[in-house]
């Protein structure tokens, strides 16, 4: 197999991976999913139940599966990683060295469900293949172009508040969307583009002239839209009340793991299951998701001073046609004329606002970043 570059995308309960050749063609991919539960390893179209109690076990399983296919990480040109939080200093893809590792670790309190697992993957590869060059792409970096009024909370600037600002996330997905949409549409990128990254984690991004100017997630991936298990936006005094009544750790669990669609529906976080559930709670959860997506859409359109195009990506954005249609119906007032929706194009020809489905290709975008850095070395 002509593999040159390994991409690792470590999430809170899964590790995706993909191998690319020198032409950035994907030659193999897979995912270790439901880590800590009914874990499975899917690779090359096959799937097996594999005991993976933690991310270390998942990485061991992945490397073992690659070796069984004749792929030794030590023989690759490079590895590249998705890192969720780069903070204020890591604002572009870069080669990983001791200083970058320290910065990623310093950002772990800002993304406790992600950065530690990102570090674990980097360190595991370093132990397995000490001479392998490794790179990182950061989910926060696409939003480094947001103006200060968009990133600054209205709190005093003191040592006690250092680092408390809006960062934004899903940046690798949005960067890939900006790259892909002109190819899909055979037209230039809409000047004012509203991008919907809708999945278990969900956010919107206002993209003007190809650059992020506003996004719904803030200091952490908890803010903004209703999500699979995250609350989305909530009054800070409500959070303080939860801490007062339940303690810090319980509140963290409530807001990150027990809220969102799961909390509203009484037990379901998967949009496919909710759409098949006729219960009032399930219906309300979906309605809540759509309502707050549209509320935030209006805010981001104001940040761009208008709208020329919209694009959907992510698991829900690409696959949940009914949810997508409800959102588009709620945007008819912008001039959007909804088409048949039997392909990537969702609008009628001649609509003043275009609408598209753009497949999420985070691993490809990470590979592209790394290849560019390799070429510049």
Instruction: List residues with catalytic annotation.
Output: 139
Cα 32 to Cα 16: distance, rounded to the nearest angstrom: 6
Q: For residues 283 and 323, give the distance between their C-alpha atoms in angstroms, rounded to a whole number.
A: 11
CA-nearest of 182, 187, 199, 221 to 360 is 199
Q: What is the DSSP pairing of strand 202-208 with strand 211-215?
A: antiparallel
> Which residue stretches of the chain are H helix?
55-68, 98-106, 115-128, 148-151, 171-185, 236-246, 248-257, 260-265, 271-276, 280-304, 314-319, 321-329, 362-376
Are the beta carbons of 357 and 197 closer than 8 angstroms?
A: no
CA distance linking residue 207 with residue 174, whole number of Å:
9
Distance (Å, whole) CA 294 – CA 311: 14
- Give yes or no for a contact between 80 and 6, defined as CB atoms under 8 angstroms apart: yes
Q: Which neighbouring-strand residues pair with 192?
A: 208
3-state secondary structure of 334: helix
CB-CB contact of 166 with 203 (8 Å):
no
Alpha-helix runs per DSSP H in 157-222:
171-185
What burial class does residue 121 get, using C-beta atoms within 10 Å of its C-beta: 0-12 exposed, 13-18 middle, 19+ buried? buried
* Strands lying side by side in the sheet with 15-20: 46-49, 40-43, 26-33, 15-20, 5-10, 78-83, 133-138, 94-95
DSSP string, 64-95: HHHHHTT--GGGSSEEEEEES--TTT--S-EE
């Amino acid at each position: 197999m002509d593999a040159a570059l390994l991409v690792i995308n470590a999430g809170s309960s899964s590790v995706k991976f993909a191998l690319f050749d020198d032409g950035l063609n994907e030659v193999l991919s897979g995912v270790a999913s439901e880590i800590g539960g009914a874990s499975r390893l899917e690779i090359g179209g096959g799937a097996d139940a594999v005991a993976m109690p933690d991310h270390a076990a998942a990485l061991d399983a992945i490397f073992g599966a690659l070796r069984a296919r004749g792929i030794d990480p030590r023989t690759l040109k490079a590895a590249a990683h998705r890192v969720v939080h780069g903070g204020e200093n890591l604002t572009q893809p870069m080669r990983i060295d001791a200083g970058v590792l320290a910065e990623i670790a310093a950002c772990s309190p800002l993304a406790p469900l992600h950065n530690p697992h990102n570090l674990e993957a980097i360190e595991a590869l370093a132990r397995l293949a000490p001479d392998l060059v490794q790179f990182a792409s950061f989910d926060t970096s696409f939003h480094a172009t947001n103006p200060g009024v968009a990133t600054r909370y209205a709190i005093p600037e003191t040592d006690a508040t250092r680092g408390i600002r809006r960062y934004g996330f899903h940046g690798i997905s949005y960067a890939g969307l900006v790259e892909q949409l002109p190819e899909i549409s055979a037209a230039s990128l809409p000047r004012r583009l509203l991008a919907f990254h809708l999945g278990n984690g969900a956010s919107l991004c206002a993209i003007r002239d190809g650059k992020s100017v506003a996004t719904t997630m803030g200091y952490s991936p908890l803010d903004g839209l209703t999500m699979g298990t995250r609350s989305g936006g909530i009054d800070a005094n409500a959070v303080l009340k939860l801490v007062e009544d339940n303690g810090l750790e319980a509140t963290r669990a409530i807001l990150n793991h027990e809220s969102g669609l799961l909390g509203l529906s009484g037990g379901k976080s998967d949009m496919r299951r909710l759409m098949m559930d006729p219960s009032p709670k399930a219906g309300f959860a979906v309605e809540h998701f759509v309502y707050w997506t549209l509320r935030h859409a209006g805010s981001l359109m104001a940040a761009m001073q208008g709208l020329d195009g919209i694009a959907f990506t992510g698991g829900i954005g690409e696959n949940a046609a009914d949810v997508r249609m409800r959102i588009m119906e709620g945007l008819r007032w912008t001039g959007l004329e909804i088409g048949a929706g039997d392909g990537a194009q969702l609008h009628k020809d001649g609509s003043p606002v275009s609408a598209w489905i753009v497949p999420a290709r985070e691993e490809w975008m990470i590979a592209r970043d790394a290849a560019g850095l390799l070429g510049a070395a």
